[in-house]
């Protein structure tokens, strides 16, 4: 990594979310309609990702696909800064104690990614997604359509549930963040070393990845993490939605979802999520590498 990982992560995360948020909106709508069994048979239930996109554009215009996206833009920089900054700090500590030589670089990357995911979820990801998911749920076919924008939505949420309300679903959010980031950093690190090859005999490091190579490595690691963590993400979405009061806790949410729609319902929205995460993580890692080199050249 470069010398300014938090700054590079902030810039990369902000650029990435503008491209990928509409896919996140589609995925979340598919997850949320599983909360009530009546939604499965209802005439207004979405039939798939393309139906979500088409109906949203028809009823709200293209801007409707960005409903709830403002919170992602607000938190995209801090999320990436915390993620990459924490991972880099932990990697530095591991190198100073020679842990890669003792346990292997892949093990160190997995552990550092796991902890970075927990920190990111606790500090940034949970309030970000609570705001976004509630706004997305509000815009669903049976949503109350009560929010007039992000600022109004935040005010309504605060009056209803207080500050702790922005940490609804913290458990599955932290678990998902830990699982996805451990897979992503491990996968990206291994693919990066596979593409680059070993250092030269004189110790000269291999050349940096080309932009497309970094995007392919990051996107592949991200897609794998999306499939593995999809059930956790579905529970998290429902624990953050407007009907979260129906569930005693995350486990009861899981049980009720499976009763209503079978185990397969935990994977509703997995296709758009895999696409979004492939693009998201590919862009973040490739942009992060490029931006890191640019910042290092200018800032030293």
Q: What is the DSSP code (8-state) at residue 203?
A: -
User: Which CATH number covers residue 62?
Assistant: 1.50.40.10
Alpha-carbon gap, residue 259 to 257, rounded angstroms? 5
| pLDDT for the residue numbered 37 | 45
3-state secondary structure of 143: coil
User: Is the pLDDT assigned to residue 245 strictly greater than 50?
Assistant: yes
| pLDDT for the residue numbered 34 | 66
Mean predicted confidence (pLDDT) in 272-299:
77
42 — pLDDT class (breaks 50, 70, 90): low
Place of tokens 């093990």: 107
For residue 89, give both structure tokens.
């700090």
Mean predicted confidence (pLDDT) in 258-281:
90
Going by C-alpha positions, the residue among 86, 85, 105 that lies closest to residue 95 is 105
Reported pTM: 0.81
| pLDDT for the residue numbered 2 | 55
| pLDDT for the residue numbered 40 | 43
Residue 258 lies in a domain: yes
Alpha-carbon gap, residue 154 to 158, rounded angstroms? 6
Mean predicted confidence (pLDDT) in 18-32:
90
| pLDDT for the residue numbered 200 | 72
Residue 260 lies in a domain: yes
User: Is the pLDDT assigned to residue 7 strictly greater than 70?
Assistant: no
Instruction: Give 42 or 258, the one with higher predicted confidence.
Output: 258
162 — pLDDT class (breaks 50, 70, 90): very high
- Residue 62: is it exposed, middle or buried by C-beta count within 10 angstroms (0-12/13-18/19+)? exposed
Sign of CA dihedral 229, 231, 29, 165: negative
Going by C-alpha positions, the residue among 226, 214, 216, 186 that lies closest to residue 288 is 214
Q: Cα–Cα–Cα angle for 126, 129, 131, nearest 5°?
A: 110
Residue 182 lies in a domain: yes
For residue 88, give both structure tokens.
């880099």
In the chain the first and final C-alpha atoms are separated, in Å, by 14
User: Is the pLDDT assigned to residue 38 strictly greater than 50?
Assistant: no
| pLDDT for the residue numbered 298 | 66
Mean predicted confidence (pLDDT) in 165-194:
92
User: Is the pLDDT assigned to residue 227 strictly greater than 60?
Assistant: yes
Residue 93 lies in a domain: yes
- E strands within the chain? none
User: Is the pLDDT assigned to residue 39 strictly greater than 50?
Assistant: no
Under a CB-based contact definition with an 8 Å cutoff, are residues 79 and 120 in contact? yes
Sign of CA dihedral 148, 153, 155, 159: positive
Residue 18 lies in a domain: yes
Share of the chain residues as helix, strand and coil, in percent rounded to the nearest 5: 80, 0, 20
User: Is the pLDDT assigned to residue 135 strictly greater than 50?
Assistant: yes
Q: What is the DSSP code (8-state) at residue 177?
A: H
Residue 201 lies in a domain: no
Total residue count of the chain as it appears in this document: 300
User: Is the pLDDT assigned to residue 202 strictly greater than 80?
Assistant: no
- Domain assignment of residue 286, given as a range: 5-196+208-299
Specify the range with the lowest mean pLDDT, choosing from 15-24, 96-105, 220-229.
15-24
pLDDT in tens, 53-111: 999 999 999 999 999 988 988 887 788 778 888 988 999 999 999 999 889 988 999 99
Residue 158 lies in a domain: yes
Tell me the CB-side half-sphere exposure of residue 21, using CA atoms within 13 A.
Answer: 26
> How many structural domains compose the chain?
1
Residue 203 lies in a domain: no
């Amino acid at each position: 990594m470069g010398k300014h990982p938090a700054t590079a992560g902030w810039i990369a995360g902000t650029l990435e979310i503008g491209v990928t948020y509409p896919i996140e909106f589609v995925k979340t709508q598919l997850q949320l309609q599983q909360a009530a069994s009546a939604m499965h048979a209802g005439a207004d239930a979405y039939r798939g990702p393309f139906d979500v996109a088409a109906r949203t554009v028809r009823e709200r215009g293209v801007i409707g696909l960005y409903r709830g996206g403002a919170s992602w833009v607000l938190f995209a920089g801090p999320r990436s800064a915390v993620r990459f900054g924490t991972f880099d700090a932990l990697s530095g500590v591991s190198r100073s104690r020679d842990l890669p030589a003792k346990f292997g670089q892949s093990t160190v990357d997995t552990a550092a990614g796991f902890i970075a995911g927990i920190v990111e979820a606790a500090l940034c990801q949970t309030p970000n997604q609570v705001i976004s998911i509630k706004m997305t749920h509000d815009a669903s076919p049976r949503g109350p359509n009560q929010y007039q924008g992000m600022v109004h939505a935040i005010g309504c949420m605060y009056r209803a549930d207080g500050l702790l309300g922005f940490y609804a679903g913290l458990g599955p959010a932290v678990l998902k963040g830990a699982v996805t980031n451990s897979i992503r950093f491990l996968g990206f690190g291994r693919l990066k070393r596979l593409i680059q090859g070993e250092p030269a005999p004189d110790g000269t490091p291999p050349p940096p990845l080309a932009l497309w190579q970094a995007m392919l490595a990051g996107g592949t690691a991200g897609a794998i993490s999306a499939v593995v963590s999809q059930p956790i993400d579905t529970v998290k979405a429902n624990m953050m939605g407007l009907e979260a009061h129906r569930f005693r806790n995350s486990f009861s949410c899981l049980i009720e979802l499976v009763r209503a729609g079978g185990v397969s319902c935990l994977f509703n929205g997995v296709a758009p999520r895999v696409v979004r995460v492939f693009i998201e993580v590919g862009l973040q890692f490739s942009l992060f590498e490029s931006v890191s080199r640019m910042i290092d050249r200018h800032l030293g």
